Amino acid sequence: NQEKLSSARFSESTDAFVEAFTASIQFDNRMYKQDIQGSIAHAKMLTKVGILNDAELNDIINGLNQVQREIEAGEFQWSIKQEDIHMNLEARLTSLIGITGKKLHTGRSRNDQVATDIRLYLRDEIDSILPEMKRLQTGLVELAEREADTIMPGFTHLQTAQPVTFGHHMLAWFEMIKRDVERLEDCRKRVNTLPLGSAALAGTTYPIEREYTAELLGFERITENSLDGVSDRDFAIEFTAFAATLMMHLSRFSEELVLWSSAQFQFIDLPDRFCTGSSIMPQKKNPDVPELVRGKSGRVYGHLMSLLTLMKSQPLAYNKDNQEDKEPLFDTVDTVKGSLRAFADMVPAIQVKREMTYEAAKRGFSTATDLADYLVGKGLAFRDSHEVVGLAVAHGIKTGEDLSEMSLETLQGFCDKITDDVFEVLTLEGSVAARDHLGGTAPNQVRAAVTRAKTYLDS
Ligand code: ARG
């Protein structure tokens, strides 16, 4: 059993409950690789400036590599007494290489060490999340291309509004994820800043070369104020804000998939492997994956609130409160990665029921705006044509006819400017094809957007 940290100053050992209560090793051991990576870079810097010699550096590197092997083989003895990942690794290193292990912490504090570890950890996770987001985007673009001509009802207020193409709808989701990618890439710049060298709070008396450590660890920038360096967790808040926004998008996306796969909509089939059955109702096929992702958005919003609240009243510089940053951040990372993986796997396998979406678009007078626009073309003011079409719709509600099913005479009863070229305008195909400008729903525009999206994904 190792001695209590800085035991010389204390007259009694820590209360056993307090020891467990204040420890973070149960969760911060997830950062073992980054802690070792940071320690090796720090030791190299200390050697460069003459604080360690080459033999000592060699022992430290070999020792830390040995520690990493033990952890990865599941042989490492984690100890609550050693409180956190930093002390656990240093204690083991010292037991392996002796007094040199005790020199590693020269010119460093756990305060700048942990800040460095979290940034390295988060940078690694960001670099694995970004390709998953691209994979989801690729699935959406492929689905959009496949369904560029597929017609479905577009909704506002969840009431039939105007026909849209299914591909256009997929590309709306693509745009949301694209903004999330931008947010994450921007967040990465601030994550990728080195706080090491801040030491406990004021900097250090040793002739350290922070630029060299930064270069070794691939950091683009160095924090410019030691007090801020050890106490800044903005980058974790920004990441969680990104994650909350992404989860909000995935949740909206989920909501539509759940609706669309219901017997009432029947727009899509989700692959069986992403659904589950019911223990009592033999007919059930439940869209568990989208439902769960929709539900998981809640915990990520909660983590964002936790982190903001965690930071709001902390005086400078480091406070133990900061240890509470890790679990929300880690769970956010896990939740985002799981949700993205599920969606990236599921989206390419969505089957669209084209006849059903087409039939649905025919209900609800989805081409009423097209008729109004047609009458404007015939010289009516838009407000007047809106009124005329309203009367035609009211008639259709009574007789059960769609606008396209009414006879020319019936239509002319509402406005004598209507001629038989109206029927082309009243088709669903004509309606979507007419919205043929950048950002519009026309199949042409979907194909053009797919081409732009592919260029973006390749870059
Ligand atoms: N386990 C601590 C944390 O996560 C490491 C830093 C501890 N520093 C200190 N002065 N107690 O924040």
Nearest CA to ligand 1 atom 2: 323
Contacts of 321 (CB under 8 A, 6+ apart): 310, 314
CATH number of the domain encompassing residue 399? 1.10.40.30
Distance between alpha carbon 26 and the CA centroid of its chain, in Å?
A: 26
Cβ(117)–Cβ(34) below 8 Å: yes
Residue 318 Cα to ligand 1 midpoint, Å, equals 8
Give the tens place of pLDDT for each residue, 202-261.
999 999 999 999 999 999 999 999 999 999 999 999 999 999 999 999 999 999 999 999
pLDDT of residue 284: 85
- Looking at residue 248, its amino acid is M
**Both tokens assigned to 179:** 């903004």
Whether 24 is catalytic: no
Is there a domain that residue 132 lies in?
yes
Contacts of 451 (CB under 8 A, 6+ apart): none
Is there a domain that residue 343 lies in?
yes
Tokens 């204390």 identify what position? 10
Percent residues over pLDDT 90 in the chain: 94
For residues 29 and 59, membership in a common domain is answered with yes
Whether 249 is catalytic: no
**Number of DSSP helices (H) and strands (E) in the chain, helices first:** 19, 6
Choosing from 56, 75, 106, the residue where a domain stops is: 106
Choosing from 323, 358, 393, the residue where a domain stops is: 358
For residues 115 and 100, membership in a common domain is answered with no
For residues 388 and 339, membership in a common domain is answered with no
Choosing from 106, 138, 163, the residue where a domain stops is: 106
Calpha distance 131→127 (Å, rounded): 7
Is there a domain that residue 336 lies in?
yes
Is there a domain that residue 400 lies in?
yes
CATH number of the domain encompassing residue 162? 1.20.200.10
For residues 38 and 135, membership in a common domain is answered with no
For residues 227 and 320, membership in a common domain is answered with yes
Note down the domain range covering 91: 7-106
CB atoms within 10 A of CB 399: 10
Q: Reduced to 3 states, what is the DSSP secondary structure of residue 228? A: helix
Evaluated on CA atoms 363, 365, 369, 373, the torsion sign reads: positive
Low-confidence ranges of the chain (pLDDT < 70): 1-6
Ligand 1 atom closest to 85 (CA):
1
For residues 71 and 186, membership in a common domain is answered with no
For residues 231 and 244, membership in a common domain is answered with yes
Residue 106 Cα to ligand 1 midpoint, Å, equals 17
For residues 443 and 307, membership in a common domain is answered with no
CATH number of the domain encompassing residue 44? 1.10.275.10
Mutate to test the pocket of ligand 1, among 14, 84, 311 (most ligand atoms within 8 A of CB): 84
Closest CA to 194 of 29, 37, 361: 37
Is there a domain that residue 69 lies in?
yes
Mutate to test the pocket of ligand 1, among 110, 121, 231, 319 (most ligand atoms within 8 A of CB): 110
For residues 382 and 262, membership in a common domain is answered with no
Give the tens place of pLDDT for each residue, 401-453.
999 999 999 999 999 999 999 999 999 999 999 999 999 999 999 999 999 99
Contacts of 172 (CB under 8 A, 6+ apart): none
Q: If you ran DSSP here, which 8-state letter would residue 52 be given?
A: S
Query: For residue 451, what is the enclosing H or E element?
Result: helix 443-458
Beta bridge partners of 276: 286
Residue 52 Cα to ligand 1 midpoint, Å, equals 25
Q: Which residue among the candidates 157, 313, 407, 459 is catalytic per the annotation? A: 157
- With 0-12 / 13-18 / 19 or more C-beta atoms within 10 angstroms meaning exposed / middle / buried, residue 363 is exposed
Residue 239 Cα to ligand 1 midpoint, Å, equals 21
Mutate to test the pocket of ligand 1, among 30, 83, 111 (most ligand atoms within 8 A of CB): 111
Is there a domain that residue 2 lies in?
no
**Both tokens assigned to 135:** 């994979």
Is there a domain that residue 1 lies in?
no
Is there a domain that residue 76 lies in?
yes
Tokens 């069986």 identify what position? 272
Residue 286 Cα to ligand 1 midpoint, Å, equals 45
For residues 102 and 123, membership in a common domain is answered with no
Q: Which residue among the candidates 13, 95, 262, 278 is catalytic per the annotation? A: 278
* Single pTM value for the model: 0.95
Calpha distance 276→270 (Å, rounded): 11
pLDDT of residue 398: 97
Cβ(375)–Cβ(419) below 8 Å: no
Q: Ligand 1 site: residues with CB under 6 angstroms?
A: 24, 28, 84, 110-111, 114, 318, 320, 322-323
Q: How many domains is the chain partitioned into structurally?
A: 3
Ligand 1 atom closest to 326 (CA):
4
pLDDT of residue 4: 65
Calpha distance 88→84 (Å, rounded): 6
For residues 278 and 426, membership in a common domain is answered with no
pLDDT of residue 281: 86
For residues 66 and 212, membership in a common domain is answered with no
pLDDT of residue 279: 87
